[in-house]
């Protein structure tokens, strides 16, 4: 995903190698721009680049400016505006303006702060890089930007000087039950930016032939879930319709931070599930996290339409918190 490429990691490596590195970040756009706010480009002292902030002449100009800030050791704001007639040549789909903040690693951007950011990303910990572009003050925030984290939305605060760069881990979808619905849901998950994991100890279901190229775990669901981990960027979908398989993973989920839990079954089946979990000692608030029956009520018929309803509900939980 754009917001979790390897640009900070590459910048840190180039700096530590002694090559030098400058991070360039899209901080604001007007009109049309091919790269969203928060997109990054890293430039080495040798002129090597990774990532992108636009393309065409804009990118070339950013690289040239990066060489200057490597020498000065200070951050700098760049602004590029083009007409509709010239837009295509500089990498903009049509007329617009972009602002790009560039900062040399080790001088303006301290190495320990960048290393902390890289470590948080490696640990799948959502983190915001916050900088005041007027004063140069920088910090990492692990809370306090809930709506930005939910929307994957970097941008300026109301003071128009404080930029918040969101670094969210990639989204994951853990699917327990390698059934027909899962076959459709995996495809939709990939299209919408999720890394899917399929869990089913029944190897006749969880086969490479049914899920070509996908990550399949044939361990018992609770063990498989423990191996994957359920964090704030993970959705869990239970599709086996069998308590012996669903419940072990479900019990792990109720004490985790995963943002979505959905379980297949009728209203009657879900009522029995709620009763079992209550007897097992789970609280009403924990049990209420379960979306059951799974998916939005859109009158879905057949595996593919049910998968659509599940994908829509997961999106609602991620973006709207419901």
Which of 307, 241, 240 minimizes the C-alpha distance to 270?
241
How are beta strands 127-132 and 138-141 bridged, if at all?
antiparallel
Tell me the CATH class for 171-320. alpha beta
* pTM of the model as a whole: 0.82
Instruction: Give yes or no for a contact between 186 and 211, defined as CB atoms under 8 angstroms apart.
Output: yes
- Look at residue 111 and give its three-state secondary structure: helix
pLDDT score, position 82: 59
How are beta strands 290-291 and 215-217 bridged, if at all?
unpaired
Report domain extents, the chain. Answer: 2-167, 171-320
- Tokens in use for 6? 């390897």
How are beta strands 21-31 and 40-44 bridged, if at all?
antiparallel
Gap between the Cα atoms of 157 and 179, Å rounded:
45
pLDDT score, position 86: 47
pLDDT score, position 87: 46
- The DSSP line for 183-239 is HHHHHHHHHTTEEEEEE-S-TTTS-TTTSTTSEEE-S-HHHHHHHH---TTEEEEE-
Please tell me the total number of residues recorded for the chain in this structure: 322
pLDDT score, position 129: 98
pLDDT score, position 1: 40
What parts of the chain have a pLDDT lower than 50? 1-3, 84-87, 92
Mind listing the pLDDT tens digit for each residue in 4-28?
A: 589 999 999 999 999 999 999 999 9
pLDDT score, position 53: 87
pLDDT score, position 84: 46
Phi, psi of 141 (to 5 degrees): -115, 135
pLDDT score, position 43: 96
């Amino acid at each position: 995903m754009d917001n979790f490429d390897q640009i900070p990691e590459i910048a840190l490596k180039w700096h530590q190698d002694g090559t030098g590195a400058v991070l360039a970040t899209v901080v604001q756009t007007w009109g049309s721009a091919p790269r969203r706010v928060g997109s990054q480009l890293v430039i080495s002292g040798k002129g090597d680049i990774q990532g992108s902030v636009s393309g065409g002449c804009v990118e070339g100009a950013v690289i040239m400016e990066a060489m200057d800030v490597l020498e000065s050791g200070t951050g700098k704001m760049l602004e590029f505006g083009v007409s509709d007639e010239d837009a295509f040549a500089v990498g903009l789909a049509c007329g617009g303006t972009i602002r790009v903040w560039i900062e040399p690693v080790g001088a303006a951007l301290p190495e320990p702060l960048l290393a902390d950011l890289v470590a948080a990303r490696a640990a799948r910990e959502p983190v915001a890089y916050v900088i005041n572009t007027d004063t140069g003050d920088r910090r990492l925030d692990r809370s306090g930007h809930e709506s930005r984290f939910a929307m994957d939305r970097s941008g300026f605060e109301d003071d128009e000087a404080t930029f918040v760069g969101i670094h969210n881990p990639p989204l994951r979808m853990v699917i327990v039950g390698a059934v027909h619905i899962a076959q459709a849901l995996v495809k939709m998950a990939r299209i919408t930016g999720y890394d899917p994991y399929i869990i089913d100890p029944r190897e006749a279901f969880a086969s490479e032939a049914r899920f070509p190229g996908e990550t399949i775990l044939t361990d018992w669901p609770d063990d498989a879930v423990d191996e994957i981990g359920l964090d704030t960027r993970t959705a869990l979908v239970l599709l086996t319709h069998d308590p012996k398989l669903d419940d072990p993973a479900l019990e792990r989920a109720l004490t985790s931070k995963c943002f979505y839990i959905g379980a297949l079954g009728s209203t009657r089946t879900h009522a029995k599930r709620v009763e079992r979990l209550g007897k097992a000692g789970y609280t009403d608030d924990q049990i209420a996290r379960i979306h059951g029956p799974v998916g939005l009520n859109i009158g879905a018929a057949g595996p593919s339409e049910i998968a659509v309803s599940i994908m829509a509900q997961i999106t609602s939980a991620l973006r709207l918190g419901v």
